[in-house]
């Protein structure tokens, strides 16, 4: 389907020169036609998009966690880990820290760094310091779930673009 919002020559140039071509395609492409048009101008872009996607997924997958420590009454820690949550708990529950952190809830996400930053911004009103917040779980948990839901939509869009790129490459026998 061709839309009224087509990529301009300048936008196509941005895509072709970008270090992150998938992000640029996502910014400007409104449909499969826009994506195909860019690929027609530079068929080798497919390899860059595919590499970007693999890098993007591998580099950013992880967990967001909300944890508490009985010695930090009324405060929770909202953080991230790229390792397992259990491994992160072991590093936090060291002999130098009184009490043990306990997991309230965890979430997996493919955009762990941007997700955590967005969550922290949205929880600014109850921020104590660093990754610590007032224990208002009725605000914290829905905020985290909302941000992760939005991040999931972004990931799905990136995967749909990659699928379109792959379909174009297959149909034009570019490999």
Kindly report, residue by residue over 61-114, the tens digit of the pLDDT: 899 999 999 999 999 999 999 999 999 998 888 777 788 999 999 999 888 888
pTM score over 0.85: no
63, 79 in Cβ contact below 8 A? Answer: no
Inform me whether the pLDDT recorded for 153 exceeds 80: yes
How far apart CA 72 and CA 99 sit, in angstroms, is 9
Please state, in angstroms and as integers, the Cα–Cα distance from residue 169 to each residue in 47, 59, 101, 141, following that order: 10, 25, 50, 42
How far apart CA 46 and CA 81 sit, in angstroms, is 31
- Across the chain, what does the average pLDDT equal? 81
Q: Which pLDDT does position 3 carry in this prediction? A: 38
């Amino acid at each position: 389907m061709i839309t009224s919002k087509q990529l301009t020559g300048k936008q196509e140039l941005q895509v072709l020169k970008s270090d992150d071509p998938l992000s640029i395609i996502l910014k400007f492409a409104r449909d499969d036609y826009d994506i195909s048009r860019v690929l027609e101008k530079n068929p080798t872009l497919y390899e860059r998009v595919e590499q970007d996607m693999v890098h993007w997924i591998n580099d950013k997958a992880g967990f967001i966690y909300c944890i508490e420590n009985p010695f930090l009454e009324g405060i929770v820690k909202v953080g991230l880990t790229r390792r397992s949550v259990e491994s992160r708990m072991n590093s936090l529950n060291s002999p130098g820290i009184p009490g043990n952190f306990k997991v309230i809830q965890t979430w997996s996400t493919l955009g762990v760094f941007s997700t955590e930053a967005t969550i922290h911004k949205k929880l600014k009103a109850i921020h104590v310091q660093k990754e610590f917040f007032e224990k208002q779980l009725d605000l914290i948990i829905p905020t985290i779930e909302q941000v992760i839901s939005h991040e999931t939509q972004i990931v799905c869009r990136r995967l749909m673009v990659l699928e379109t790129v792959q379909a174009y490459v297959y149909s034009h026998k570019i490999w």
